[in-house]
Structure 1
Amino acid sequence: QVGAQEQTLQQQRQHQAALENQLANRIAADKTKISELQANANILDGLVGRLLVQFRHQEEVARAKAAAAAAAEAQRKVEAEAAARRAVAIAARRQAVEQRRLAQKKQAEQRVRRERETARAQQVQRAANAQKQPPTTVVRPPVIAAAPTPALPATPIVGHGNYPAPVSGPISARFGAPRVTGGLDWQGITFQAAVGTPVRAIAPGMVLYAGPLRGYGQIVIVQIAHSLLAIYGHLGATLVHVGEQVSAGRQVGSVGSGGELGNDGLYFEMRNAGHPVNPLYYIHN
């Protein structure tokens, strides 16, 4: 009987050791998974940061070019206006000189005519000593009507509203929910969708990145506002290229299979100034 009890205790100790070993293995696997997820998230953070720096540099270059073009255009207008003023002044001086010449010529002709008429009148009748002078013709410059200034077009009003979801399907993981117990939280949301389902741009914008990224499969990053990014991840294929302007509803790729999502679907993030924000604040599904 003592031997049987000893054997039972030994079996219990072995079972307990096996359970402890399984728990230790599971904890080690979770730590490995957390490290891998953190590394992947760091890669995406780094990519987004580089893209924002690159875009801001491009914006500064574009602003500098626009300012230089505006300054050149302003200088051209100043020079054109100065040349026009000079031409008007020259024309006015020439007109004044010509008017003086004509007036002097007319006065001389009138003087000679008056002298001749006076001499003839004195011979015929000394009492007629006055002659009417012909009325002086007043030359008035033509009235030049100013051309009407064309009205400038009104600045279009930009509307804002809720964006449509990139795919149609239930959300299997929400923003801020834990991905692994004791590890990272989801920085975006996941949609359940069949492999090959078209993924469409939620809003118009410019493609900043399209290609593979470790831990996210094929991804597409679209800038839809000054500092607002839409990230479409775990794609099976991308259909756009960097620098392309996409319209709202344009297909940017298709849903990929499995991967870290576990099930087929789309991983979707929104970032504002590089920081993850809840996509449900921007889309409706």
Structure 2
Amino acid sequence: MKKIIAIILAAVLVLSFAACKKTDKNPDTTAAADAQTSEQAGDVTGEETSSEAESETASDEGSTSDETDAVKPSENKTPSGGSTVTPSKDLNTNDAAACIKAYQAAIAKTKQFKSGRQSMSLKGEITASGFLGAIFNVAQKSIANALSKNSKDRTDIPGNPSGMKASHMKSASAVTGGNYTTITFNVKDQTQGPKASNHAGSVGCAVGTLGDVDRAIKELGLKVDYKDGKIELTYTNCKVVVKIDNTTGKVVEGSWVYDVNVYANGIKVSGVSVNNLKGIVAFSYTAKG
């Protein structure tokens, strides 16, 4: 029973770690529940390539990665007068396309942050039907601890900024005050199944998602059968806020957040049935340039 619990907890964590976006510069290492379960489950590591973002389809209210590319980041232009003009300078608008253009230009200029911190936390409880529900009720602390262990330093640019589209946004705004412009995006929810790109769709482009759950499961060494069941990850409450220095055109600070709503039903983990599994993981990434 102890081994079964360890395997199931590890599987739940993998499915819950939609927040564990893999990056080329900062690959995430996923801890399996706690010191006890990590011996049996192992670490989850991996890298996602940007080419997947261009070729795979993501579920985002009908949008796909094959849609027309978003406005590409524009270079800063220097008029004959001499001073550099940045897209964010004196920008006060609620036009999503204009906000995206300014954001892309600032991100392209920034390239990488000087410091940053990624954190994850369990939001509410992970629940499931049957005897697993009782197990998860007891294991909440272990799961929360595992998420906490995945809080880490990172300095990379999140998501796939060049793929961002106005249609991805619930709302957007840019407000200039003094030498700084603050851009805010409230991103549309996105739902993904077990096979998806981590850098496609509304949240995938704005922040990044887990992407291919199959790959994570294989890396963990678990046998998960979901052919007659369902695995679904829904990203909600996604928000991006960045502060841009209008002199340098770079992002000086930013935050990228969302909630991952995990749902699994009718799946089997190493022969053990998992039904009506639900849980929410809160993800945040803050950085300074």
Per the TM superposition, whether the score is higher than 0.5 is: no
Greater strand share, structure number: 2
Larger radius of gyration: 1
Greater helix share, structure number: 1
Bin the TM-score by the shorter chain: under 0.3
Q: TM (normalized to structure 1)?
A: 0.26
Relative contact order (alpha carbons < 8 A, sep ≥ 6): 1 or 2 greater?
2
Q: TM (normalized to structure 2)?
A: 0.26
